[in-house]
């Protein structure tokens, strides 16, 4: 029998070998005469609010002897994932097709394959080995392959990132997502670490192993296969057209990434109901990891066994009534990558996009994060559904022009950025002219306030790279309570469709949509 206990605190210099004694101490009189026979970590986080006394905080499940002693503590409940039962009355004539092999498409295909639906997965980008070569050729020599890059290819955009698993959603399916990652090769610590991550190096192998599992369950994965059109008859999907031929299907899951702009335009031409969606724009800001460690842990952090420090900052600009010129816009950091690197994430010709990436060890010299400003639909140039995409393309092209040859990223120090805004001609001009005026103004207002939250955030050691536009999709594909779009048999899901933000929430949405199909349809093969 296991019990759940929270708020077990060890000093940062202690080891996990001290956990059993800490449990007994926490139990007080109830722990007298008990022996901890087994324990496992449920949650782990760092409490660095007091830099002179940094703590590692645990939630734990543990077992004791003698076994007949009962403790007044909750018992953990098993979190086994169970496939839903078929409760519908419809039959699928053809195999379902999943368009996109990022987290959403992977997990949707995995659930469908587990239920015997034998999905066909299409990914416009390349399989992992070729994709890695294509990305390296771009990052080193500026040779962009518009179909196989940081955005498109096996594993989706998250493959070339920090592999961050943080999410704001609460959903029982999260445990399924994390368990599958571990079974595919991720470290077990992602099951309990606060702000867990996999790292781009490990994630590449994990993704391939999930693909192999889908295939072993009867699924099929086709790379370098781009969705070009949908055949719609009597308001329902009847087939799709790809660059490698037509496929008959009556069930299409659109697990698009937020960069599939040609697909959004094709859907718009078919009058699939789309909506504008707010998103964000800004820069990627980079600091020495040492600066972040000292700011978060204190000068003596080297003596402690601590992970590279992270941060999460936000600022609410002054409203118009308060005399502010930024009308209450939010400025915030996003997708912080400790010990990582800033990378060019372009996927379209003559457009520059920046993002961050970390390896599993997070042992790089620099830390980076997106520094973003809210973009409202009122900032768009029109009221049509794809106006947000046009907004992105405008500033990505400006960044391309301002960056110079080989898709270089415009960059400057934070000091140059602030001085350029005041009229001084320097490298900051290239970054400023790659952003809308409101973003420049909002970032300028926010920087000194964020530096009060994190010492050194606005120092001359900090460097900015433009432009970050793809933290979320600027379009939502409208779906009903049955999770279908305005066209029957069409299931938009994940980040690109406007229903997720990050690896975990995208995977959860893919599972949710696959469950709906399993519940409503019976395969006819």
For the segment 377-398, the average pLDDT, to the nearest whole number, is 97
Q: What are phi and psi of 448, to 5 degrees?
A: -65, -30
Encode pLDDT of 217-267 as tens digits. Answer: 999 999 999 999 999 999 999 999 999 999 999 999 999 999 999 999 999
For the segment 347-371, the average pLDDT, to the nearest whole number, is 97
> According to the model, what pLDDT value does residue 5 have?
96
Single out the residue of 299, 311, 397 nearest to residue 351, CA to CA: 397
| Cis amide prior to 467 (ω within 30 degrees) | yes
Single out the residue of 294, 301, 304, 329 nearest to residue 314, CA to CA: 329
Q: How far apart are CA 428 and CA 426, in angstroms?
A: 5
Encode pLDDT of 421-434 as tens digits. Answer: 988 889 899 999 99
DSSP code string of 266-293: HHHHTT--EEE--EEEEEEEEEEHHHHH
Single out the residue of 219, 171, 175, 471 nearest to residue 336, CA to CA: 471
DSSP code string of 423-486: T--STHHHHHTTS-HHHHHHHHHHHHHHHHHSTTTTSTT-EEEEEE--SS-SEEE---TTS--S
Per-residue HEC secondary structure of 320-348 comes to HHHCCCCCCCEEEEEEEEEEEEEEECCCC
Q: How far apart are CA 271 and CA 162, in angstroms?
A: 36
For the segment 294-305, the average pLDDT, to the nearest whole number, is 93
Encode pLDDT of 405-454 as tens digits. Answer: 899 999 999 999 999 998 888 989 999 999 999 999 999 999 999 999 99
Encode pLDDT of 198-207 as tens digits. Answer: 999 999 999 9
> Degrees (nearest 5) of the Cα angle 475, 476, 482?
165
Interhelix angle 103-114/200-216, rounded to 10 degrees, is 30
For the segment 96-120, the average pLDDT, to the nearest whole number, is 97
Q: Which residues pair with 411 in a beta bridge?
A: 465
Longest dimension (CA), the chain: 76
On the question of pLDDT at 371 being above 90, the answer is yes
SS3 category, 101: coil
> According to the model, what pLDDT value does residue 348 have?
96
Instruction: Tell me the pLDDT band of 134, cut-offs 50, 70 and 90.
Output: very high
Percentage, residues of the chain above pLDDT 90: 92
Instruction: Tell me the pLDDT band of 100, cut-offs 50, 70 and 90.
Output: very high
Two structure tokens written together for 288: 């020495």
Instruction: Tell me the pLDDT band of 523, cut-offs 50, 70 and 90.
Output: confident
Two structure tokens written together for 15: 């080891």
> According to the model, what pLDDT value does residue 132 have?
97
On the question of pLDDT at 79 being above 80, the answer is no
On the question of pLDDT at 77 being above 90, the answer is no
Cβ neighbours for 43, distance < 8 A, ≥ 6 positions apart: 57, 58, 59, 192, 193, 194
Instruction: Tell me the pLDDT band of 324, cut-offs 50, 70 and 90.
Output: confident
On the question of pLDDT at 372 being above 80, the answer is yes
For the segment 503-510, the average pLDDT, to the nearest whole number, is 97
SS3 category, 389: helix
Instruction: Tell me the pLDDT band of 190, cut-offs 50, 70 and 90.
Output: very high
On the question of pLDDT at 53 being above 80, the answer is yes
For the segment 345-366, the average pLDDT, to the nearest whole number, is 96
For the segment 13-36, the average pLDDT, to the nearest whole number, is 94
E strand or H helix at 216, and its extent? helix 200-216
Q: How far apart are CA 360 and CA 452, in angstroms?
A: 30
Q: How far apart are CA 438 and CA 428, in angstroms?
A: 16
For the segment 323-339, the average pLDDT, to the nearest whole number, is 92
Encode pLDDT of 55-71 as tens digits. Answer: 999 999 999 999 888 99
> According to the model, what pLDDT value does residue 121 have?
98
Single out the residue of 466, 410, 461, 465 nearest to residue 287, CA to CA: 461
For the segment 29-57, the average pLDDT, to the nearest whole number, is 95
> According to the model, what pLDDT value does residue 473 have?
96
> According to the model, what pLDDT value does residue 321 have?
77
Q: For tokens 């979320």, what's the residue?
A: 472
> According to the model, what pLDDT value does residue 325 have?
84
On the question of pLDDT at 326 being above 90, the answer is no
Q: Share the mean pLDDT of the chain.
A: 95
> According to the model, what pLDDT value does residue 524 have?
78
């Amino acid at each position: 029998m296991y019990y759940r206990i929270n708020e077990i605190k060890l000093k940062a210099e202690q080891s996990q070998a001290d956990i059993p004694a800490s449990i007994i101490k926490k139990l007080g009189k109830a722990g007298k005469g008990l022996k901890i026979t087994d324990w496992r970590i449920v949650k782990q986080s760092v409490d660095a609010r007091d830099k002179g006394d940094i703590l590692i905080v645990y939630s734990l499940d543990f077992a004791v002897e003698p076994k007949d002693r009962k403790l007044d503590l909750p018992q953990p409940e098993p979190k086994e994932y169970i496939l839903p039962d078929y409760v519908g009355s419809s039959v699928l004539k053809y195999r379902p097709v999943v368009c996109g092999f990022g987290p959403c498409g992977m997990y949707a295909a995995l659930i469908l394959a587990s239920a015997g639906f034998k999905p066909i997965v299409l990914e416009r980008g390349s399989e992992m080995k070729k994709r890695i070569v294509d990305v390296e050729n771009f990052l080193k020599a500026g040779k962009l392959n518009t179909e196989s890059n940081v955005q498109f290819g096996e594993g989706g955009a998250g493959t070339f990132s920090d592999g961050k698993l943080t999410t704001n959603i609460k959903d029982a399916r999260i445990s399924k997502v994390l368990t599958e990652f571990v079974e595919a090769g991720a470290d077990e610590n992602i099951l309990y670490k606060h702000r867990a991550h996999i790292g781009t190096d490990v994630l590449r192998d994990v993704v391939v192993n999930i693909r192999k599992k889908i295939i072993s369950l009867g699924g099929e994965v086709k790379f370098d296969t781009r969705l070009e059109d949908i055949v719609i008859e009597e308001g329902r999907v009847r087939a799709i057209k790809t660059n490698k031929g037509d496929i008959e299907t009556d069930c299409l899951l659109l697990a698009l990434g937020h960069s599939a702009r040609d697909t959004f335009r094709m859907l718009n031409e078919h009058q699939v109901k789309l909506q504008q969606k707010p998103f964000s724009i800004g820069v990627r800001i980079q600091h020495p990891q040492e600066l972040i460690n000292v700011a978060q842990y204190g000068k003596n952090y080297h003596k402690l066994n601590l992970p590279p420090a992270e941060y999460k900052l936000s600022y609410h600009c002054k409203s118009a009534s308060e005399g502010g010129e930024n009308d209450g816009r939010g400025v915030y950091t996003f997708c912080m990558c400790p010990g990582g690197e800033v990378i060019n994430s372009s996927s379209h010709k003559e457009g520059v996009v920046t993002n961050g990436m970390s390896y599993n060890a997070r042992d790089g010299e620099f830390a980076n994060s997106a520094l973003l400003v809210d973009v409202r639909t009122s900032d768009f140039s029109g009221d049509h559904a794809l106006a947000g995409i046009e907004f992105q393309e405008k500033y990505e092209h400006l960044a391309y022009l301002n960056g110079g040859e080989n898709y270089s990223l415009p960059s400057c120090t934070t000091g140059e950025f602030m001085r350029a805004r005041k009229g001084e001609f320097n490298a900051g001009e290239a970054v400023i002219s790659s952003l809308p005026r409101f973003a420049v103004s909002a970032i300028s207002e926010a920087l000194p306030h964020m530096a009060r939250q994190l010492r050194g955030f606005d120092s001359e050691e900090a460097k900015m790279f433009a432009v970050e536009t793809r933290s979320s999709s600027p379009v939502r594909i409208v779906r009903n309570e049955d999770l279908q779009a305005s066209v029957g048999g069409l299931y938009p899901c994940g980040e690109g469709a406007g229903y997720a933000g990050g690896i975990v929430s995208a995977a959860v949405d893919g599972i949710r949509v696959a469950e709906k199909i399993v519940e409503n349809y019976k395969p006819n093969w």
